Structure 1
Amino acid sequence: MNESTLRRALLVIAILGLAIGIGAWRTGFGPLDANTIWTVATLPVVAALAISILRDFWIGRFGVDAIALVSMSAALLLGEPLAAVVVAIMYAGGTVLEDFARGRAERNLKALTDRSPRVAHRTSTLGTETISVEDVAVGDELLVRAGELLPVDGILLDASAALDESAVSGEPLPERRSAGDMLRSGTVNAGETFNMRASALAEQSTYAAIVRMVAAAQTAKSPFIRMADRFALFLLPVTLLVSGAAWYVSGDPIRALAVLVVATPCPLILAAPVAFIGGVSRAARAGILMKGSTALEALAQVRTAIFDKTGTLTIGGAELIEIEAAPGRDANHLLRLLASLEQASHHVLADSIIRAARGRQLVLSHPRDVHEHRGAGLKGRVDDMAIVAGSRALVLADKPLPGWAESGEEKYRDEPVLRVFVALGGRLAGVFTFGDALRLDAHDTLGRLRSAGITRMVMLTGDDGAAAKRTSALLDLDALVADATPAEKVATVTAEKASAPTMMVGDGINDAPALAAATVGVAMGARGATASSEAADVIVLTDRLQPVADAVRIARRTRSIALQSIIAGLALSGLAMIAAAMGQITPVAGALLQEGIDVAVILNALRTLGDGHLWRA
């Protein structure tokens, strides 16, 4: 019999004992009187609690459950078996309530582990075979059928795929992926069957990391919870002192019993763990993985936020920034022709160009007669039209820029961008500008962090000073550190941490030491930066910056709710103790009152599962 089943059985025994005893008392019949029935129903709870306390004491822990043991034992010794059985119901009910609350708080986390990938379909020259996910090797080609979980992290081999990433990233709508994109285990094929190449073993893939973090979240205790445990220990001597004083002043041992009954510190025992598990669960539902309640509590107290630049505040790749079209030319038509031509190229920009065209739902044509000029561009034909795309030297040679293109050339003269010139039929038709653009949600995220209590924001980057200053000028930052080596990043984080609890947000392998050095390291893990994710305390699984602000808000709200539950619960218990000491509350009424306090505290702690005042995307 596991502990959860035992606790439910003890609760049933105590409730049945109370009911049968009341029946015997009201009818006056039966071989046993009511007091004997209530005593018999209480003893199993007393015995189980005594064994639990001895077991904890043996491993070096001493809990405040001893107050419940003392109150039930005292009630039996003082001839108050009705009070004893009500306390037994209160205690057993509290443990069952705790099981329910923990189960409710862990439901989202458990859902993640229950749907872990178990099989994969490996393809070879001999056909397709179904194997255990643990047998997948790096480099294996895998077939993923419609509706199936992706077994491991990998690279898409087919032209496109639609993936439901909601269980991993929190994104509600299917995401479209293109050939060469990274795919993550645990996501679901929401489209047609496709092929992928495994890039990691099962135990090293995204979903395995999630399962490990879930286990950590369910077992680790935060400093806040450990502090609550230690504080709760002081309640035992205080309770005994108040109880003894009430007996001494009044001469009535029943008053002492009433004080013991209402003093069980369930708000401390239950509220903090349930609240923190609920907070971790709420974060997981939003695509934010927190490595246990320790990380959540630390995040709740940060005052300084440090951001890497490339891939964190910016997109981190050559993305299309602007299309300048010649008079009479349509920008989407030019993009379609350019992307069609770039299908024949291996240049680093080709994927970005094709992705931009597909993002606008443009239908590409098959290019013909393509000739690539290494490092300069492409020439070919698309839809029977001659097209040249590449550097200004390739496309224009010594010809001057037409007037419509001069403003763009001046605008981007000193910017760290790539410019692609496109000519149709020998005439310049458009200029495409690519660069590392600021994330669309960067402004809002920093503003939300300010409103959440972050007082200092710093950009810390290894990029050159000029590029860093251009980016920082667009944001509300307090300081900028550029040209930083990984060692200098660690030194900067350490210096900031000495002044205030500090959060470091980064995405690259070179950010890992700085993430580990911060009070809380937050990794932008959507692109699979394993080293930074391992070093971080919090991992954002969506390729957006906004969840960083959501994570801080969830952490602060969770800690606030836990504190509310503890303060309110202890205050109510304290008032009840005073009333009991003055003879205003009987032991039976005190037990019922304490159970009501426990229920209120648990329900309040479970509010961490909700959205509260979180911003929505």
Structure 2
Amino acid sequence: MRRFAGHALLVITVGALAAGGVLYLAGAPRPAGAVWAVGTAVALLPAIWWVVSALRAGRMGVDAIAVLALAGSLATGEYLAGALIGVMLSGGRMLEEYALRRARSDLTALRQRAPRTARRYEDGHARLVDVEQVRPGDRILVPTGEMVPVDGRVRQGVAVLDQAALTGESLPVEHQAEDGVASGAVNVGPAFDMRATASAADSTYAGVVRLAQEAEAGSAPLVRLADRFAAWFLPATLLLAGAAWWISGEMVRAVAVLVVATPCPLLLAAPAAVASGLSRTARHGVVVKGGGALEALGAARTLILDKTGTLTLGHPRVVDVVAAPGWDAAEVLRLAAAVDQMSSHVLATAIVHAAHERGLVPPDPEDMREEPGTGTSALVEGRKVRVGKALAPRATEWETAQRARAALDDAITVWVSVDGRAAGVILLRDAVRPDASRTLRRLRAAGITRLVMLTGDRAEVAESVAGVLGIDRVLAEQTPAGKVKEVRAEAARAGTVMVGDGVNDAPALAAAGIGVAMGARGVAASAQAADVVLTADRLDRLADAMDIARRTRRIAVQSAGAGMALSLIAMAVATTGLLPPAAGALLQEGIDVAVILNALRALREGRGTRLPVDDSTEALLRRFELEHAELRPPLELIREAADRLSVRTPEENLADLRRVHAFLVDDLLPHEHAEEDRLYPAMARLLGDPEATTTMSRAHAEIDRLVRRLGRHLELAGDTGPAPGQLDDLRACLYGLHAVLTLHFAQEEEAYFSLAAGSTGA
């Protein structure tokens, strides 16, 4: 209805202006003036209503100037000026409404594409039901081209999903059996079955829609500033108009001043720019709950980050398997995975995943027993295997050494025993996100001057992560209450953003100037308390949002400032009588149109956002990232072979070395050479610098050199195995290879792979 009224007002005012113009050109000035007067009166009525509505809301808006300008035009007989003001007023309203509607289009699209139906299996047949009827545990069919209706897990096969609406990823993502899938993703592969894990109301997409609705409801400080601006601009305008009338004795000059002061460009610039910014952040997988949050995000100077799940991946990964004397690391991992494949513990999941990565097939366990707090045991191939805490009351020298190493590496230890005797230990650690370092550098470049880590984890673990990432201050071993206290202390010093991902972060997020929740799944409490939610589990989305927020604020202030400056200059000229009301109305219309169009620049990408990656380069990044995930587990073969050189026979060492060399030559070097030939030239073009990949190429050369050295050692070893005199150099060669490859993989993942929109964080 409101939109129809706006269209009607615009049609009437434009029609009156045009009809009057035709009459005037036809030699009938009096009828032309009468038609223009009608157009002016028609515009005056809604303008009065807008002023009354503002007064009822406790605001004095600059629409009051429009009312005075229209009334003054009628009083002085400046009907053409009045008709122009009427067109300007109705056109400005329509243009602003269009700008806001276009800027909010991405948020509106989120609501409109929400899943409404699901294909639930009933009596063995998939039947179409309302999505609200789906309950956790239901079996759902997702055909090709349809949307995942609720959160769930893939039952079998592979699900290929387009997750662009949720995460902004431009390429489809594959999900294996038992992988979690989010509602709102579109199936672009073959049909698959899934098991619902949440109802529609509790699923990811419903949460995103609720957040989008909250985002549209907010009002930014920049918008509210426009109302406060009227408190001094309106009296100043009236004073200048009165002075022009008093000095010249001509009321028409006062009307001319009022005309060029109507309407205020700030009222048009701020809402359009802020709504554009909200739309842009939604496009990048960030839902900002209103313009106020966007404005505060752009003004922040301190960033507080939780560690687990924010700076780190949030789940442990196996970093090493150390076999006890007489045991093999692969066998230790295989037996541990056999026991843990029936457990839901997060460490058990990591161990089973590591076994699958290494190509191990865990056997089925029997008589499994889980002892809370101590571990899990089962019969595996006739042997009693226990996985969990160490059993021995007094540690052996080997166990003491492994505990010391775990402490140095900040790793979690999971001990594996077979028939009551230690077989090995598995070391796990929560790895730093590959994109964390790059993102923090981007945030500093965007204006963040202070980075603080706030975590409940141990101080030594937090310090090691902070050292890698260049955090300014570390606050470790904090309780939820302690986090709130520290966040308030930081917020008292400067504009503060707090980032977290768990229920225990919710109080701190609420206490911060701006709370940011990581991910839309499984963090209902933190998302509820947060002002900003990253719908993708990627920290770099926050850097995108802050870039957008700062650019939005800059454009809004720039548009408003330029528009007001031009209006003030026009008002000064109008007081001299050099700018008649009709010409002033045309000039002000041009100013308002320019202001809105400039504000809509916030819809476009700015220079400060993530480096744009073309589709072909992104495909290369995704390809080599996946290859890294496949190659990383076998890297441990290199270090394990070095560890065993002194305790194995020459024949056993020869078998180890040949296995390592085969992996390096057949699998690893082809990967590195393909990167050198295809990925690095693409990255050099993307970064605009032919020397950008030089250090990475130097690492490739060193890897080639060490592999050739290992090959020469194998030639010298012949069929009898390496001689004692070769062992020291072999050990140095293998340890060097392992160190260079580990560092090189990490550098590529941070510097290159994190640029891909769909980076998996391998």
Q: Normalised by the shorter chain, which TM-score bucket? A: 0.7 to 0.9
Closer, same or farther in 2 for the Cα pair 1:451/1:240, shift >3 Å? same
Instruction: Give the distance between the partners of 2:403 and 2:605, measured in 1 at CA.
Output: 47
* Structure 1 residue 561, shift from structure 2 partner: 1.3
How far does the alpha carbon of each residue in 1:556-607 deviate from its partner, in whole angstroms, 9 at most, with x for none?
Answer: 2211211111111111100110011112212111111111111111112111
Instruction: Give the distance between the partners of 2:513 and 2:167, measured in 1 at CA.
Output: 24
Instruction: Please say if residues 75 and 81 of structure 1, whose CA atoms lie closer than 8 Å, have aligned partners that are also in contact.
Output: yes
Map of 2:499 onto structure 1: 505
How far does the alpha carbon of each residue in 1:425-477 deviate from its partner, in whole angstroms, 9 at most, with x for none?
Answer: xxxxx997532011111111111111112121111111112222222221211
Instruction: Please say if residues 289 and 532 of structure 2, whose CA atoms lie closer than 8 Å, have aligned partners that are also in contact.
Output: yes
Closer, same or farther in 2 for the Cα pair 1:409/1:487, shift >3 Å? closer
1:84-483 equivalence runs, <5 A = 84-125=82-123, 127-321=125-319, 346=343, 348=345, 349=347, 351-352=349-350, 375=375, 412=406, 414-417=408-411, 434-483=428-477
Gaps of 5+ in 2: 324-328, 370-374, 417-423, 612-754, 756-762
Map of 1:42 onto structure 2: 40
The one-letter code matched in structure 2 to 1:18 is L
Closer, same or farther in 2 for the Cα pair 1:472/1:366, shift >3 Å? closer
Instruction: Give the distance between the partners of 2:33 and 2:142, measured in 1 at CA.
Output: 67
The one-letter code matched in structure 2 to 1:497 is A
How far does the alpha carbon of each residue in 1:85-129 deviate from its partner, in whole angstroms, 9 at most, with x for none?
Answer: 111111111011101101110111111111011112222335333
Closer, same or farther in 2 for the Cα pair 1:36/1:323, shift >3 Å? farther
Instruction: Please say if residues 520 and 527 of structure 2, whose CA atoms lie closer than 8 Å, have aligned partners that are also in contact.
Output: no
Instruction: Please say if residues 232 and 268 of structure 1, whose CA atoms lie closer than 8 Å, have aligned partners that are also in contact.
Output: no
Closer, same or farther in 2 for the Cα pair 1:233/1:8, shift >3 Å? farther
Map of 2:609 onto structure 1: 614
Closer, same or farther in 2 for the Cα pair 1:452/1:203, shift >3 Å? same
Mean CA deviation greater in 172-181 or 279-288: 172-181
Closer, same or farther in 2 for the Cα pair 1:575/1:97, shift >3 Å? same
Q: Which has the higher contact order (CA 8 A, sep 6+)?
A: 1
1:61-100 equivalence runs, <5 A = 61-100=59-98
Instruction: Give the distance between the partners of 1:408 and 1:247, measured in 2 at CA.
Output: 91
Mean CA deviation greater in 307-316 or 220-229: 220-229
Q: Which of 531, 535, 559 is matched with 2:553 structurally?
A: 559
The one-letter code matched in structure 2 to 1:20 is A
Between the two proteins, the alignment pairs up a number of residues equal to 593
The one-letter code matched in structure 2 to 1:615 is R
Instruction: Give the distance between the partners of 2:460 and 2:226, measured in 1 at CA.
Output: 50
Instruction: Give the distance between the partners of 2:211 and 2:223, measured in 1 at CA.
Output: 18
Map of 1:328 onto structure 2: none
Instruction: Give the distance between the partners of 1:393 and 1:287, measured in 2 at CA.
Output: 44
How far does the alpha carbon of each residue in 1:395-442 deviate from its partner, in whole angstroms, 9 at most, with x for none?
Answer: xxx9999xxxxx9998656323357899xxxxxxx9975320111111
Instruction: Give the distance between the partners of 1:518 and 1:369, measured in 2 at CA.
Output: 49
1:538-549 equivalence runs, <5 A = 538-549=532-543
Instruction: Give the distance between the partners of 1:60 and 1:369, measured in 2 at CA.
Output: 72
Instruction: Give the distance between the partners of 2:93 and 2:434, measured in 1 at CA.
Output: 48
The one-letter code matched in structure 2 to 1:186 is G
The one-letter code matched in structure 1 to 2:468 is L
Instruction: Please say if residues 44 and 70 of structure 2, whose CA atoms lie closer than 8 Å, have aligned partners that are also in contact.
Output: yes
SS for the counterpart of 1:585 is coil
How far does the alpha carbon of each residue in 1:329-380 deviate from its partner, in whole angstroms, 9 at most, with x for none?
Answer: xx9x99998999799554755644665688x8x9x68665767987589997
SS for the counterpart of 2:140 is strand
Closer, same or farther in 2 for the Cα pair 1:323/1:11, shift >3 Å? farther
The one-letter code matched in structure 1 to 2:154 is L
Instruction: Give the distance between the partners of 2:355 and 2:263, measured in 1 at CA.
Output: 62
Closer, same or farther in 2 for the Cα pair 1:420/1:496, shift >3 Å? closer
SS for the counterpart of 2:60 is coil
Instruction: Give the distance between the partners of 1:108 and 1:269, measured in 2 at CA.
Output: 23
* Structure 1 residue 185, shift from structure 2 partner: 1.9
Instruction: Give the distance between the partners of 1:372 and 1:577, measured in 2 at CA.
Output: 89
Instruction: Please say if residues 497 and 514 of structure 2, whose CA atoms lie closer than 8 Å, have aligned partners that are also in contact.
Output: yes
Closer, same or farther in 2 for the Cα pair 1:314/1:366, shift >3 Å? closer
SS for the counterpart of 2:452 is strand
Map of 1:19 onto structure 2: 18
Instruction: Please say if residues 505 and 523 of structure 1, whose CA atoms lie closer than 8 Å, have aligned partners that are also in contact.
Output: yes
TM-score, length of structure 2 as denominator length = 0.71
Instruction: Give the distance between the partners of 2:13 and 2:78, measured in 1 at CA.
Output: 15
Residue 525 (structure 2) pairs with residue 531 (structure 1): yes
How far does the alpha carbon of each residue in 1:466-512 deviate from its partner, in whole angstroms, 9 at most, with x for none?
Answer: 22222222121121111111111111111111212211111111111
* Structure 1 residue 208, shift from structure 2 partner: 2.1
Instruction: Please say if residues 496 and 514 of structure 2, whose CA atoms lie closer than 8 Å, have aligned partners that are also in contact.
Output: yes
Instruction: Give the distance between the partners of 1:380 and 1:258, measured in 2 at CA.
Output: 93
Instruction: Give the distance between the partners of 1:462 and 1:419, measured in 2 at CA.
Output: 19
Mean CA deviation greater in 176-185 or 587-596: 176-185
Map of 1:425 onto structure 2: none
Closer, same or farther in 2 for the Cα pair 1:65/1:335, shift >3 Å? farther
Instruction: Give the distance between the partners of 1:343 and 1:124, measured in 2 at CA.
Output: 33
Gaps of 5+ in 1: 326-330, 382-387, 402-406, 423-429
Instruction: Give the distance between the partners of 1:291 and 1:43, measured in 2 at CA.
Output: 40
SS for the counterpart of 1:459 is strand
The one-letter code matched in structure 2 to 1:165 is Q
Greater percentage in helix: 2
Instruction: Give the distance between the partners of 1:334 and 1:577, measured in 2 at CA.
Output: 85
Map of 1:385 onto structure 2: none
Instruction: Give the distance between the partners of 1:179 and 1:494, measured in 2 at CA.
Output: 44
Closer, same or farther in 2 for the Cα pair 1:342/1:26, shift >3 Å? farther
Instruction: Please say if residues 60 and 227 of structure 2, whose CA atoms lie closer than 8 Å, have aligned partners that are also in contact.
Output: no
* Structure 1 residue 238, shift from structure 2 partner: 1.3
Q: Which of 556, 572, 576 is matched with 2:566 structurally?
A: 572
Instruction: Please say if residues 165 and 188 of structure 1, whose CA atoms lie closer than 8 Å, have aligned partners that are also in contact.
Output: yes
Instruction: Give the distance between the partners of 2:185 and 2:274, measured in 1 at CA.
Output: 26
Instruction: Please say if residues 334 and 355 of structure 2, whose CA atoms lie closer than 8 Å, have aligned partners that are also in contact.
Output: no
* Structure 1 residue 143, shift from structure 2 partner: 2.2
Mean CA deviation greater in 334-343 or 534-543: 334-343
Map of 1:518 onto structure 2: 512
Instruction: Give the distance between the partners of 2:564 and 2:508, measured in 1 at CA.
Output: 40
Map of 2:586 onto structure 1: 592
SS for the counterpart of 1:192 is coil
Closer, same or farther in 2 for the Cα pair 1:36/1:369, shift >3 Å? closer
SS for the counterpart of 2:129 is strand
CA RMSD of aligned residues (A): 3.6
The one-letter code matched in structure 1 to 2:610 is W
The one-letter code matched in structure 1 to 2:518 is M
SS for the counterpart of 1:272 is helix
Instruction: Please say if residues 343 and 367 of structure 1, whose CA atoms lie closer than 8 Å, have aligned partners that are also in contact.
Output: no
How far does the alpha carbon of each residue in 1:499-528 deviate from its partner, in whole angstroms, 9 at most, with x for none?
Answer: 122111111111111111111111112542
Instruction: Give the distance between the partners of 2:159 and 2:355, measured in 1 at CA.
Output: 16
Closer, same or farther in 2 for the Cα pair 1:225/1:66, shift >3 Å? same
The one-letter code matched in structure 1 to 2:19 is I
